Every structure is written in C-alpha cells, then in structure tokens.
Amino acid sequence: MKRSFRWKTWLRVGGTLALVGFLAARLNWTELAQAITHLSPMAFWGSVGVFLMAQFVSTVRWRQLALDAQLHAGLDRFGVWYAAGMFCNLVLPTSVGGDVVRTWYLAQQADGPLDGRTRRAATSVLLDRGTGLMVLIALAGVASILCPVALTPQVTWFLYAVLACTALGLAIGLTSSGFIGRKVPKLAPLISQAWDFARKPGLVASSLALSVLVQVASVVQVGLIGKGLGLDVPWAVYGCVVPLVTLLTLLPLSVSGMGLREAGYAALLAGFGVTAPQAVALSLLGFAATSLVALLGLPVIIWGGWPRVGTDSGTHSAQAANESAEHLKTEKIEGISA
C-alpha cells in the first residue's frame, strides 16, 4: 500500500512538472505579469471573503449529515476539522487527503455510538462531497441555458460529456447498488446509509440548498477575480467554465490540480476574448485566494496534531482507529501516512 502510494505521488509530481513546463514554455510572461499587477486588490480580497463564507456553509452542511449519522459535536469543532481537511487538500499529493483527515477526526473525536462510527463518519464525508458534486454539475447545465452568449464548442462538448457521464453513473448507481452490496459485503452498510439519506427529503433538500450556496460562491469567487482583471466575461460563462475546470482538477494527474487548472481556463475561455496569460493569471490568483483560506487549517495540524488513539477528546479507543484503517483500506482511499 505504501509502495502504491509512493508511485502515485511520483506520477502526480511528474504530471505536474510536465503540465507546468508545457504551459511555461508557451506563455508570454510579460503579459502574465501585467495581468496580475492590474488586479484590483478589492476584487482579490472580496474573492477570499466569498470563499471563506463558502467554507463555513460547507461546514454546516457536513455537520448536519454527521448529526444524522449520530456523530455529535459543536459547530466550532466541525469548523476546526474542516479547516484541517482544507489544509491537507492543499498540501497533500492526493485529491482525497482532506476527506481522509475529516473522516479520521470525526470518527475519533465526535460523540456518539461506537458501533460502526468510522463507516458513518466516512459516509457523512462522502455524502457531503457527493451532494456538492451533483449541484456543481447541475449549476454548469443551468448556466449554459441562461448564458446570454453562444458557448464555444470546447465548453459545449465538455459539458455534454460531463452530463452524459453523470447520467450514466447515476443510472448504474441506482440500479446496481444491491448487486454491488452483495458482491462487496463491506460496502453494504455504506450503501444502506446512503439510501437512508435519500429517504429523508428534508435532509436532502437542506443539503442540496446549502450546496447551491457553496457552488454559486465558488463561481462568484473566480468571477470577482476575473472582473478585477478587467475580463469582459459574462457571469453565466463563469457559471459553466468554473465547474468544468473544477471537475478537471479532480483527475489524478497533478498535485492540487496544478497545470490542469491553468490549461483548463486557457482552453475554455479562449473563445470569450481571454488570452492565455489572462486565463493563467485568473487561475493562479483564484488558487492563491483559496490557499489563503486553506492555511487556516495549519494551526490545527501544528497545535492540535493528528487524532490520537486513547486521547480524551473523544469517547473511543483503539477500536475506532483499527476500524478506521480497515474501512479506509476497503474503500481504497489513498493513505496519508505513507
């Protein structure tokens, strides 16, 4: 497992270097510097503020899912754990490192029944991610309908491919969940908990509503920087492009989506009067804004440390830690301790 993690890490690092090198060799650095220096400071700090508010809403969404799973803690503690997850998503060479950290904290430090707590913690994180992902994709579709200008072929076909894959994935998941549960018994409790969530319309509605706020905020965050750079791009175009680029960065090809993000904005905004240096500036400044907020999790890691087996911060013991390791191995979630 450790060897596999190391190989994946080196592949991501190699992919990052290749992508960044490819872009760097073709980029007009003078135009990039000019674009960045022309940014309005108010627009940048407004973007930081919007992203910070979005993370608060995300914390509220995750907490209500965890409470439904009988894992209890105050909003302040969930905020601390969420901040730690944000920081790990920023610095770890994996797209799920922050999710593993959130699951770990919740499983060991929240109050609630010991039985199956790691499974319930993991499911709350997966549902948190899943509802956000569904709304992100839906937002791109709605924005494409409301867009006042014609979308370019690159955006249109990328969006069609995403919508088709999403529909196919949902169809397979809805029709084959029982089969998957029988073939992989350890997944059966997870699937059962997900179906329990789907049978609670109030919880589903509130989770989706909070997800709408989060994803609209992510578009506004990037759009504010675009406006601060003087880009004449309609908001609906950002509503299409930002979700698509976000999905692109989930591909396990680079560290923290570096290179993929810049290439995505350059390719998808090229048909809307945005030059490659401007698109790269938009990407870098947007990443800088999110990174500043993610750094809030650094004190949690420094002073709080990782959850420890046998601490008094939670009500559990080595059982929770062992269950956590086994569950994460079963789910094939990439390790963070290698």
- Total count of residues recorded for the chain: 338
Beta bridge partner(s), residue 111: 72
* pLDDT tens string 117-158: 888 899 899 999 999 999 999 999 999 999 999 899 999 999
Q: Report the predicted TM-score, pTM, of the whole model to 2 decimal places.
A: 0.82
| pLDDT of residue 211 exceeding 90 | yes
Residue listed under structure tokens 């420890």: 308
Residue listed under structure tokens 């980029």: 27
Minimal CA–CA distance to 325: which of 315, 316, 314, 333? 333
Q: Which residue has the higher pLDDT, 162 or 336?
A: 162
Minimal CA–CA distance to 153: which of 277, 234, 247, 267? 267
Does residue 278 contact residue 231 with C-beta atoms inside 8 Å? yes
Does residue 101 contact residue 84 with C-beta atoms inside 8 Å? yes
Percent of the chain topping pLDDT 70:
85
**Residue 314's pLDDT band (cuts 50, 70, 90):** very low
Least confident interval from 224-228, 282-286, 328-332: 328-332
